Structure 1
Amino acid sequence: MSTLLLVTDLTYPARGRRYGDEDVFLGARLREHFVVALCHPKDAVGLMDRFDLVMVRNSGPVMHYPAEYGAFRAHALRQGSVVFNPLTGQGDMAGKQYLVDLTRAGFPVIPTVDRVADVDALPVVETYVVKPKAGADSVGLVRTDREGIPDGEGLLIQPAIDFDYEVSFYFVDHEFHYALYAPDPEKRWELRPYEPSTSDLAFAERFVRWNTLDHGIQRVDACRVGGDLLLVELEDLNPYLSLDLVAEEVREAFVQAVAASLRAMSGD
């Protein structure tokens, strides 16, 4: 039986979410398929070579431990470690530059630029959102008028959008499993099951195809503006899954898909 190192921070204080509970559950279920051990992300480099697979889960935003995460990536790539998700993701795993790139490429994404000189390319609004490219969990996010937008490196600039609701689509290995949405825009983590339309799924699948991950978990976060969906974030490093909010059969199918993906990566 293959060995699996589950990298997680069971005590990370996520707002509106219980990281530890989700990974305790997932670790217990994966133990049916692998020999599983859990470790904190700051300990991963010292332990990972003893395991067949390394799975990065609810470890908190890597902006809180950039040196350790950089060392983890470098060691994994140098040793050829089998990491789930693979370290080739182009979404949040690589920072949020992709929002700028997708905007330029004409994808349905919240319009995003990274230079004050390019603000004219955005819709004219009263309020703009400015946040760090390496940010997460709204850390460093500010709202300002056009005159207050700072001119600096490593920032993203977006128009503040009055959206109807946010919705997230959850995938394993390009296969859609479930969707959840927040009917109240002010309560992002009060989620309910969402039944996507054919066009909703086509929207989400477009971004999953754009990202070049053959294996792994991806969460496509979007907002509804009128009749259209716009990408908010493509989370491909350690997306929280809200598994406690889905039906038992949906949760079971998801866990089995994750186990199958891990087995495929390990060659079992």
Structure 2
Amino acid sequence: MPLLYVTDLTYPARGRRYCDEDIFLTGRLRGHFPLALCHPRDAETLMGGFDAVVVRNSGPVLHYQEAYDAFRTAALAGGVRVYNPLTGRGDMAGKQYLPDLTAAGYPVIPTVDDPAHLHLLPRVPQYAVKPKRGADSVGLAFTADPSAAEPGRTLIQPRIDFAYEVSFYFVDDAFQYALYAPDPARRWELEPYHPTPADLAFARTFIEWNTLTHGIQRVDACRTPSGDLLLVELEDLNPYLSLDLVPAEVQDAFVTALARSLDSFLS
């Protein structure tokens, strides 16, 4: 079953090389499926000739929003199989999930999308303000007074000190590996992380909430000074995997899990 693998090999990600990861993954997946690569702007035009579309390191959607919206609309209308499935409730659907999860009492960085709701957040010297449809820190700003933020279109969070950020990587509902950034100022200088059972239970809370039966997901969290984990983002559209930073046996296990997931998805 031929796959259309969507990637932007030229995207200039800070501290990461998207192209290397997708060259590695497509090289390995060719042992399981025939596939072709295309840029995200070409996905709508080309997808009809393939059994499924695999969206990988395609960069922030806001850089090609019109093309992505057209692709998504056409795929849903035509019953095209897209991996990850387009039913994701995390970053795939924007970042409305952050204020929603805050209101529902989940362990997330407290988030509101209206300055009128600032009283629901902890009082802090500075707040983070970012576009609700943003990604990769595009449009992120810090301010002592977020009252001018546009209601419904921006997210407001307290700027909190944290010990480190940690990411948990899943294929379907199966945990694969974890990486963390020991220095909060160097987000993409990652090292292997050995999660505790409590850490994994935290991450699985959001995998279960998202209800995707197939797909690659990355749960990004921060460790607070009190030792708690708080969700930063739930990446379910095109999460970068930092596969070059894990041992060969972990890479092999990830590729095996991905191929098995894709085979199940296609059948």
1:247 matched to 2:234: no
One-letter amino acid matched to 1:102: L
- Contact 1:23 / 1:58 at 8 angstroms: preserved in 2? yes
TM-score, normalised with respect to structure 2: 0.98
Matched-pair identity in %: 67
Counterparts of residues 22-171 of structure 1 (less than 5 Å): 22-146=21-145, 149-171=148-170
Query: How far apart in 2 are the matches of 1:75 and 1:174?
Result: 28
Residue 24 (structure 1) shift: 0.6
Partner of 1:236: 236
Residue 148 (structure 1) shift: 5.4
Residue 150 (structure 1) shift: 2.4
- Distance verdict in 2 for CA 1:177–1:102, change over 3 Å: same
Partner of 1:265: 265
Identify which range, 174-183 or 142-151, moves more after superposition: 142-151
Query: How far apart in 2 are the matches of 1:194 and 1:183?
Result: 10
Residue 107 (structure 1) shift: 0.2
Query: How far apart in 2 are the matches of 1:61 and 1:227?
Result: 31
Which ranges in structure 1 are unaligned for 5 or more consecutive residues? none
Residue 146 (structure 1) shift: 2.5
Segments of 4+ in structure 1 off by > 3 A? Answer: none
Let me know the Cα RMSD of the aligned residues: 0.8
Write out per-residue CA displacement over residues 115-146 of structure 1, whole angstroms, 9 at most, x where no aligned residue.
Answer: 11100000000000000000011111110012
Partner of 1:16: 15
One-letter amino acid matched to 2:204: E
- Contact 2:219 / 2:235 at 8 angstroms: preserved in 1? yes
SS state at 2:220 partner? strand
Identify which range, 30-39 or 143-152, moves more after superposition: 143-152
Query: How far apart in 2 are the matches of 1:170 and 1:147?
Result: 33
Write out per-residue CA displacement over residues 48-104 of structure 1, whole angstroms, 9 at most, x where no aligned residue.
Answer: 010011100000000001110001101111111111000000000000000000000
Query: How far apart in 2 are the matches of 1:147 and 1:166?
Result: 24
Write out per-residue CA displacement over residues 201-231 of structure 1, whole angstroms, 9 at most, x where no aligned residue.
Answer: 0000000000020000000000000210000
- Contact 2:130 / 2:155 at 8 angstroms: preserved in 1? yes
TM-score, normalised with respect to structure 1: 0.98
- Contact 1:130 / 1:149 at 8 angstroms: preserved in 2? no
Query: How far apart in 2 are the matches of 1:152 and 1:221?
Result: 25
One-letter amino acid matched to 1:126: P
- Contact 2:172 / 2:212 at 8 angstroms: preserved in 1? yes
Partner of 1:7: 6
SS state at 2:189 partner? coil
Residue 147 (structure 1) shift: 5.8
SS state at 1:238 partner? coil
Residue 252 (structure 1) shift: 0.4
Aligned residues: 266
